[in-house]
């Protein structure tokens, strides 16, 4: 996840590097934000999802959900084709493709799960190689926005004020002059730095995961090893039939800390707790999105109602907005076999889910 202003900055970088001006520059800025317009399509989805079949709901989610269709490579090429057929401008078409593609790539490299190869594959994935609040990814794209804003402010001053501030900010003015003289090369260089950044870290993560896998004597999931701070990750794997092992690792010291999480915990006397946990897991596996990679179940019973709370084993161990903090609460009526499901995430109030979410 990269902040909205930084995505906008990438669009501005591209427009300067390609020498696009006027309306084409504004279109490129819009395209750099276009994938995130799925916030609006997701609102439409929430309005209609409860009135369709389970299968239709899943397909609609792939098309309208956040970080779904608009965050796919197919969508980026579709946008480029529309630009080409409308303008026949190769440079503008290339810029439009890159504006959308770089938005997708930046999100994919950080923490957001998406379906990059939809509609050819519905498999979710994410590199999760760079911390979502990485200063390079979030601040470097702001450079062109800062330069444009400072130029606008300077030009709006009176001549006297402008001369005063020019003397005070002489070094900054020299920097602006350097940028203006070498505009295309300067902004192309900034884009190159960003691209190198998002290539180096995924490669570095490969070495880290291999090291941890060798240390643990098992295969650690690359995609499900989550960045928790700059250069540090939280990994997990199934240690036994009853427990996961969670590991905090870093580029500097390898394995820093490890601990175990029980897969199924039971409160009170629920003799068939495992069966209810399996039933909740089966229902969940038919839903989208699949936010939980390492499911843990907490089972309890009261007055003939069996409650199964399903969450991710890593949830309590990451502070800043993890993408697996969704919690599901299944309530089964032991006598009738009927059930209700409630969902909460991002600390928001719990909401009841429709049956077509699961079947």
pLDDT in tens, 44-74: 999 999 999 999 999 999 999 999 999 999 9
Model confidence at 213: pLDDT above 50: yes
Q: Given 162, 196, 230, which residue is the final one in a domain?
A: 196
Task: Examine the domain organization and report whether 10 and 151 are in the same domain.
Answer: yes
164 and 272 in a single domain? The answer is no
DSSP for 315-359 reads GGG--S--TT--EEEEEEETTT--EEEEEE-TTPPPEEPPGGGT-
**What is the residue range of 53's domain?**
4-196
CB of 241 within 8 A of CB of 225? no
Q: What is the pLDDT of residues 259-290, one digit of tens each?
A: 999 999 999 999 999 999 999 999 999 999 88
The answer to whether residues 173 and 90 belong to one domain is yes
- Examine the domain organization and report whether 143 and 283 are in the same domain: no
Q: Is residue 36 part of a domain?
A: yes
Mean residue pLDDT across the chain = 89
For residue 247, pLDDT beyond 90: yes
Which of 9-13, 217-221, 249-253, 322-326 shows the lowest mean pLDDT across its residues?
A: 322-326
pLDDT for 92-118, tens place per residue? 999 999 999 999 999 999 877 899 999
| Beta-carbon-side half-sphere exposure of residue 227 (alpha carbons within 13 Å) | 23
What pLDDT was estimated at residue 120? 95
In sequence order, what are the beta bridge partners of 245?
237, 260
Identify the pLDDT of residue 148. 72
Instruction: Supply the Cα-derived Rg of the chain in whole angstroms.
Output: 25
Indicate the residue among 149, 175, 196 that finishes a domain: 196
**pTM score of the predicted model:** 0.89
**Using one digit for the tens of pLDDT, what is the confidence trace for 149-207?**
766 665 665 555 555 555 544 545 555 555 566 677 788 888 899 999 999 999 999 99
DSSP string, 168-218: HTHHHHHHHHHHHHTHHHHHHHHHHHHHHHHHHHHHHHHHHHHHHHHHHTS
How many of the other CB atoms lie within 10 Å of CB of 146? 11
Could you tell me if residue 107 is inside a domain?
yes
* Count of domains forming the chain: 2
The pLDDT score that the predictor gives to residue 91 is 96
Summarize the confidence of residues 24-35 as an average pLDDT: 95
Residue 256 lies in a domain: no
Mean pLDDT of 231-256: 95
Q: Kindly state the average pLDDT of the residues 288-316.
A: 95
pLDDT at res. 347: 75
């Amino acid at each position: 996840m990269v902040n909205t202003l930084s995505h906008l900055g990438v669009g501005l970088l591209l427009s300067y590097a390609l020498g696009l001006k006027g309306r084409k520059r504004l279109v490129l800025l819009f395209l750099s934000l276009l994938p995130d317009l799925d916030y609006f399509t997701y609102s439409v989805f929430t309005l209609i999802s409860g009135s369709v079949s389970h299968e239709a709901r899943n397909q609609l989610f792939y098309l309208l959900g956040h970080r779904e269709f608009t965050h796919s490579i197919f969508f980026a090429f579709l946008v480029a084709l529309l630009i080409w057929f409308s303008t026949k401008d190769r440079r503008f078409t290339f810029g439009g493709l890159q504006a959308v593609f770089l938005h997708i790539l930046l999100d994919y490299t950080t923490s957001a799960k998406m379906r990059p190869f939809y509609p050819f594959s519905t498999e979710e994935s994410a590199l999760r190689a760079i911390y979502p609040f990485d200063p390079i990814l979030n601040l470097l794209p702001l450079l062109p926005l800062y330069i444009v804003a400072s130029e606008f402010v300077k030009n709006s001053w009176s001549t006297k004020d402008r001369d005063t501030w020019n003397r005070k900010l002489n070094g900054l003015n020299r920097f602006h002059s350097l940028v203006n003289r070498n505009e295309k090369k300067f902004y192309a260089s900034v884009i190159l730095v960003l691209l190198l950044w998002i290539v180096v870290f995924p490669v570095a993560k490969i070495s880290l995961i291999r090291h941890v896998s060798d240390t643990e004597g098992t295969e650690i999931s690359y995609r499900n090893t989550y960045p928790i701070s700059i250069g540090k990750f939280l990994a997990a794997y199934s240690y036994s039939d009853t427990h996961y092992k969670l590991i905090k690792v870093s580029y500097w010291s390898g394995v820093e800390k490890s601990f175990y999480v029980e897969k199924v915990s039971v409160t009170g006397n629920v003799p068939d707790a495992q069966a209810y946990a399996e039933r909740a897991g089966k229902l969940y596996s038919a839903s989208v999105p699949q936010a939980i990679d390492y499911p843990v179940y907490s089972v309890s019973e009261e007055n003939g109602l069996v409650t199964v709370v399903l969450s991710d084993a890593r949830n309590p161990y990451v502070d800043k907005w993890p993408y697996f903090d969704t919690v599901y609460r299944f309530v089964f009526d032991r006598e009738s076999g009927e059930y209700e499901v409630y969902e909460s995430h991002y600390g928001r109030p719990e909401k009841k889910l429709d049956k077509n979410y699961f079947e």
